[in-house]
Amino acid sequence: MIKIQELSRTWEIFHMDWVTGLPPGGNKSHNACIVIVDRFSKTPIFLPFHKDDTAMDTALLIWNREISWTGIFTNIISDRDLNFTSALWTNINQLFGKKLSFSTAYNPQTDGLAERMIQNLEDMVGRFCAYGLEFKYCDGFTHDWCTLLPALELAYKKFINASTNQTPAILEKGWNLNLPQDSLGKNLVEIHPTASSFKGML
């Protein structure tokens, strides 16, 4: 196993992996998910995408969703092939309009942080699916695994991580985030039956 540099701040190194074989979700019928995990805080980011998306598509996802939140990173740890990760860096450089110095650790025997997060994601999605794969509000909005991802990120950020003995939110922000059950009162829960189910799942 490769020994990976330990850090003292968030989002300098992150792990990245892919979940495929998911049912079509969201208004763009995404069928896969990119899982990104900060090595320091264990904070996750879940990005829905299509399994046939290119390296440029992946770079655009990182550009649009991650970089404005995390800042510039220096290293990606992934077991994806080197041709793909090289193309990913090339496309990220094109988006920045300048050449940045990045490195990518490639080895299927790295410590598996993203793989463990994938297991957690699949478990959380499975729990949601136990309540029904999707449901529709009266206004026609469909709520499925894809639209649930931000809520899953939020829930995971408040769980204490065994390796850090802290929540990802504490290490990343310095305080814990509120979950729905922290603010949903009895009367609000009774407005919609799925609110009660969602609260119970978390």
Which two structure tokens, joined as six digits, stand for 123? 């478990």
Angle (nearest 5°) at CA 97 between 95 and 99: 100
Domain boundaries along the sequence of the chain: 13-201
Place of tokens 């959380």: 124
CATH T-level topology, domain 13-201: Nucleotidyltransferase; domain 5 (3.30.420)
Spatial contact of 181 and 199, defined as CB atoms under 8 Å apart = yes
| pLDDT for position 48 | 92
| pLDDT for position 169 | 94
What is the number of other CB atoms lying within 10 angstroms of the CB of residue 42?
24
| pLDDT for position 1 | 46
| pLDDT for position 46 | 92
Spatial contact of 47 and 121, defined as CB atoms under 8 Å apart = no
Report pTM: 0.75
Residue 76, H or E segment: strand 75-78
pLDDT in tens, the chain (202 residues): 445 566 778 988 888 888 887 888 888 889 888 888 999 999 999 999 998 998 899 888 888 888 888 888 878 787 776 777 778 878 888 887 766 555 555 554 455 777 788 787 777 776 665 555 555 555 555 667 888 888 889 988 988 988 889 999 999 999 998 877 776 655 554 545 555 555 555 5
Cβ-count burial of 103 within 10 angstroms (0-12 exposed, 13-18 middle, 19+ buried)? exposed
What is the number of other CB atoms lying within 10 angstroms of the CB of residue 87?
16
